[in-house]
């Protein structure tokens, strides 16, 4: 793989050792080592659960051939109520991460299994938790508060967190580069469409609204996840139809979304586009529902802005599925967003021909992970050894000292 995108100047001085980044899925582990210029020196994808013998063996083989690293950065989807910044992992931080297990049960346990494995194999190496929730830490009070009883909010910490923070940090920086603008001056709607999908409004370099909430289940329909549904329906299914909480959870997490809408055909939009073209009505319905919901969430995000400088597609679906981008953009003339988008699949670029700019930005969480790890090292006393990427203005969310998936279409 090649180095970093344009516009990221390296900090001068000693190069220092590279960093390793770890992105764990429920049945996969992605490893990479990146130097100070964000060039990938080595990488490995292991198709097995992070707590399996296969992953332990694969990690050992990777470490045997990889260069010495300054630190290991771990993507953690949910930081829970106690962690609001990327930070070095110690016993206290590790305990706080355990509290987040139940808030993202499909995501956090595998990440912690990978984290613990790396700590055992590299006991003297700094390990850094990079939390997807950090990008949204500064959500305005109205945007993060649910209309539920006060005791729920105060006693149980029920609030909206937001996710896909690493993806959004990278996408915001690339958008600013492509538009030749300062991120702090932009008001944009970012979309991350993949196995997990969400929308985010960014103003002044900060997240001011996002479609995911307390857990990664809220918001858009996703590959296998339902997204937002009427909570009264869930109560009805339990009370009147005798469904258990586990049965409801399994259906919402694994058998809903695009998969459920297509009557079990597929949660992959590429397959759905092919099937819809062949006359498969459930596949067509799945795409129609998805397109409608994405448009609705984009409009909701725009309502948190004073103006709309751009709409950006990222994530595997957003970056690689022009049919879905067109379905969304063609239905948003009310926001001066129009169809007829460029369908070329090359570099990040502006794909609209008029109106509000529409962009495609390919997600790159592993490079964003490396950026955040180096930032934590620098702020905690380590030497600076990476590009100065201005994802947010000084003091804004994402630059907090010490302490943010790609939620890929097929493995999140």
Q: Which residue positions form the known binding site for Mg(2+)?
A: 365
Q: Which residue positions form the known binding site?
A: 75, 192-196, 268-270, 365
**Strand residue runs (E) in 249-373:** 310-314, 349-350, 358-360
The Cα angle at residue 214 between residues 171 and 31, in degrees rounded to 5: 50
From 35, 132, 309, 406, the catalytic residue = 132
103-109 contacts: CB < 8 A, separation 24 or more?
A: 103/78, 103/161, 103/214, 103/215, 104/77, 104/78, 104/215, 104/216, 106/26, 106/216, 106/253, 107/25, 107/26, 107/77, 107/78, 107/216, 107/405, 107/412, 108/76, 108/77, 108/78
CA separation for the pair 354, 337 (Å, rounded): 8
Q: Measured in whole angstroms, how far is the alpha carbon of residue 213 from the centre of its chain? A: 13
Q: Which residue positions form the known binding site for ATP?
A: 192-196, 268-270
Nearest to residue 137, comparing CAs of 222, 55, 69, 200?
200
Active site residue 9: no
Burial class (CB in 10 A: 0-12, 13-18, 19+), 327: buried
Q: Which residues are CB-neighbours of 178 under 8 A, at least 6 positions away?
A: 348, 349, 350, 359, 361
CA separation for the pair 212, 135 (Å, rounded): 13
15-18 contacts: CB < 8 A, separation 24 or more?
A: 15/385, 16/70, 16/383, 16/385, 17/67, 17/68, 17/69, 17/70, 17/385, 18/67, 18/69, 18/70
Q: Which residue positions form the known binding site for substrate?
A: 75
Tokens of 227: 């997204």
Residues with catalytic function: 132
């Amino acid at each position: 793989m090649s180095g970093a995108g344009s516009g990221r100047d390296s900090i001068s001085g000693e190069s220092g050792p590279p960093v390793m980044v770890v992105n764990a899925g429920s049945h996969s582990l992605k490893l990479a080592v990146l130097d100070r210029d964000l060039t990938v020196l080595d990488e490995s994808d292991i198709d097995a659960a992070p707590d399996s013998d296969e992953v332990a063996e694969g990690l050992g083989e990777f470490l045997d051939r990889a260069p010495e690293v300054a630190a290991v950065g771990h993507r953690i989807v949910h930081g829970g109520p106690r962690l609001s910044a990327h930070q070095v992992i110690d016993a206290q931080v590790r305990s706080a991460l355990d509290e987040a297990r139940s808030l993202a049960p499909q995501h956090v346990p595998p990440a912690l299994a990978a984290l613990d494995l790396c700590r055992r194999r590299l006991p003297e190496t700094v390990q850094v938790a990079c939390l997807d929730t950090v990008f949204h830490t500064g959500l305005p009070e109205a945007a993060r508060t649910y209309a539920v009883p006060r005791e729920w909010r105060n006693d149980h910490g029920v609030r909206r967190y937001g996710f896909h923070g690493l993806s959004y940090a990278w996408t915001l920086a690339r958008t600013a580069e492509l538009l030749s603008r300062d991120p702090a001056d932009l008001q944009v709607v970012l979309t991350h469409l993949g196995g997990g999908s969400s929308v985010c409004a960014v103003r002044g370099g900060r997240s001011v609204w996002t479609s995911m909430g307390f857990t990664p289940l809220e918001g858009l329909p996703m590959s296998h996840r339902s997204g937002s549904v009427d909570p009264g329906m869930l109560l009805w299914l339990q009370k009147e139809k005798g469904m258990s909480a586990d049965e409801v959870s399994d259906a919402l997490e694994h058998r809903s979304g695009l998969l459920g809408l297509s009557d079990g055909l597929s949660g992959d939009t590429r397959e759905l586009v092919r099937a819809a073209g062949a006359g498969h009505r459930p596949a067509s319905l799945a795409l129609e529902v998805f397109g409608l919901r994405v448009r609705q969430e984009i409009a909701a995000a725009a309502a948190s802005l004073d103006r709309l400088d751009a709409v950006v597609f990222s994530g595997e679906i957003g970056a690689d599925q022009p049919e879905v981008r067109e379905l969304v953009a063609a239905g948003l003339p009310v926001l001066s967003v129009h169809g007829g988008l460029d369908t070329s699949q090359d570099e990040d670029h502006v794909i609209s021909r008029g109106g509000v700019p529409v962009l495609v930005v390919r997600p790159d969480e592993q490079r964003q992970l490396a950026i955040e790890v180096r930032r934590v090292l620098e702020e905690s006393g380590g030497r600076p050894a990476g590009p100065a990427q201005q994802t947010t203005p000084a003091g804004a969310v994402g630059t907090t000292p010490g302490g943010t998936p790609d939620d890929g279409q097929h493995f999140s």
